[in-house]
């Protein structure tokens, strides 16, 4: 299998704290390194057909049974025709086998949580109550088919039947998991996969790129969708000179800026030798003023006059134009 081109777009859905560089890392929780904070049950703020493939490692179990097919259909929507979804799911069959053979070591739960074999089995399968659905390979295949996926097949750890060699890079927990893939049909129009609920801001994300750390800057940002608009939250620290503000540029013009002045105790703990780390945070909310695609460049202005790249967010706005211009954004706060 040939290496992937640098333009491939891929999603790490339900990433938790397992951040994958070069992927759009999305989760319902605001963890460090998460690019996009969103609840899939409300629809992902990602454009239809924007992604080449998506991977999810043990995230589906946190959704209830009636939410499974709608969530999978939403993942189908954001894939391009022919795109692939790869799932790693806890294998109920493996758990049952371990219980029947009395294999205490198989269950990765604390003895204080459950000491009996049955208790350890149930606690792991429900993962202390976080999991709301159980899976076997045939049931997962059934759910994928109901959501509209084709070419559904179970795959070994580290192996794929897709054209995407890097799709297996996130595989882990082989002893307790199974891996299954499905593809979006190549001959079905995007309109068939509209999300069940529209996104409040009318902005959907095509790609998130991080440019830090670099020689001038350390930092990170994430993107959230809200009723007001697109919210960028992050932190920035200069390697040699303090950062005065962070700016968002579109089409060569600055559409928003914010001082780096929000308290970030977590960053202060991470960089105790840097005085500016205590107030290294920034936040901006921007909204579209027209319909179309925009490449938002995020840059930091240093106090010595230099500028450093923070990252890019490639978005598409579905809002009707209010000013007769396309793809422009303006700051709300």
Q: What domains can be seen in the chain, in order of their start residue?
A: 10-91+135-193 (3.40.50.150), 203-331 (2.60.40.10)
> CA 223 to CA 236: how far, in whole Å?
15
Q: Report the pLDDT value the prediction gives residue 292, as an integer from 0 to 100.
A: 81
State yes or no: cis peptide before 61, omega within 30 of 0.
Answer: no
Locate 258 and state its tokens.
Answer: 């914010």
> CA 26 to CA 38: how far, in whole Å?
7
DSSP for residue 43: -
Count Cβ neighbours within 10 Å for each residue of 75-85 and write b for 16 or more, e otherwise. Answer: bbbbbbebbbb
Kindly state the percentage of the chain with pLDDT values over 90: 68
Place of tokens 């799932």: 87
Which is higher by pLDDT, 165 or 3?
165
Cα distance between the two ends of the chain: 47
Q: Are strands 307-317 and 203-210 parallel, antiparallel or unpaired?
A: antiparallel
Q: Report the pLDDT value the prediction gives residue 331, as an integer from 0 to 100.
A: 53
Place of tokens 């205490």: 104
Give residue 198's pLDDT band: very low, low, confident or very high (50, 70, 90). Answer: very low
> Whole-prediction pTM value?
0.75
Give residue 326's pLDDT band: very low, low, confident or very high (50, 70, 90). Answer: very low
pLDDT of residue 126 exceeding 50: yes
Which is higher by pLDDT, 35 or 193?
35
> CA 180 to CA 141: how far, in whole Å?
8
DSSP for residue 262: B
Phi first, then psi, for residue 254 (nearest 5°) are -80, 120
Q: Indicate if the alpha-carbon torsion angle 138, 142, 147, 149 is positive or negative.
A: positive
Q: Report the pLDDT value the prediction gives residue 4, as an integer from 0 to 100.
A: 57
pLDDT of residue 327 exceeding 60: no
Q: Report the pLDDT value the prediction gives residue 159, as an integer from 0 to 100.
A: 97
Q: Is the distance from CB of 332 to CB of 287 less than 8 angstroms?
A: yes
Q: Are strands 36-37 and 24-27 parallel, antiparallel or unpaired?
A: parallel
Q: What residues form DSSP beta bridges with 10?
A: 53
State yes or no: cis peptide before 24, omega within 30 of 0.
Answer: no
């Amino acid at each position: 299998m040939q290496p992937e081109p640098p333009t491939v777009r891929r999603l790490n859905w339900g990433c938790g704290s397992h951040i994958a560089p070069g992927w759009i890392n999305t989760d319902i929780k605001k963890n460090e390194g998460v690019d996009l904070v969103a609840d899939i049950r409300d629809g992902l703020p990602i454009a239809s057909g924007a992604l080449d493939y998506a991977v999810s490692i043990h995230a589906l179990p946190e959704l209830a049974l009636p939410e499974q097919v709608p969530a999978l259909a939403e993942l189908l929507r954001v894939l391009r025709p022919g795109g692939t979804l790869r799932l790693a799911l806890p294998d109920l069959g493996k758990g049952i086998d371990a219980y029947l053979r009395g294999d205490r070591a198989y269950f990765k739960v604390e003895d204080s949580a459950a000491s009996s074999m049955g208790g350890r089995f149930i606690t792991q399968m429900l993962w202390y109550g976080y999991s709301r659905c159980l899976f076997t390979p045939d049931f997962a295949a059934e759910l994928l088919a109901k959501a509209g996926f084709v070419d559904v097949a179970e795959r070994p750890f580290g192996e794929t039947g897709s054209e995407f060699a890097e799709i297996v890079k996130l595989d882990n927990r082989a002893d307790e998991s199974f891996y299954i893939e499905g593809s979006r049909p190549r001959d079905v129009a995007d309109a068939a996969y509209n999300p069940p609920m529209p996104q409040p801001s009318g902005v959907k994300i095509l790609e998130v790129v991080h440019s830090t750390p670099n020689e001038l800057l350390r930092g990170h940002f994430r993107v959230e969708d809200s009723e007001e608009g697109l919210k960028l939250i992050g932190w920035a620290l200069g390697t040699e000179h303090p950062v005065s503000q962070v700016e968002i540029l579109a089409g060569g013009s600055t559409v928003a800026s914010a001082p780096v002045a929000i308290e970030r105790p977590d960053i202060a703990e991470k960089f105790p030798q840097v005085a500016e780390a205590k107030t290294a945070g920034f936040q901006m909310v921007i909204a579209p003023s027209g319909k179309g695609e925009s490449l938002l460049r995020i840059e930091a202005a240093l106090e010595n006059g230099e500028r450093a790249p923070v990252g890019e967010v490639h978005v598409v706005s579905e809002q009707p134009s209010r000013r007769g211009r396309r793809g422009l954004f303006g700051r709300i706060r």
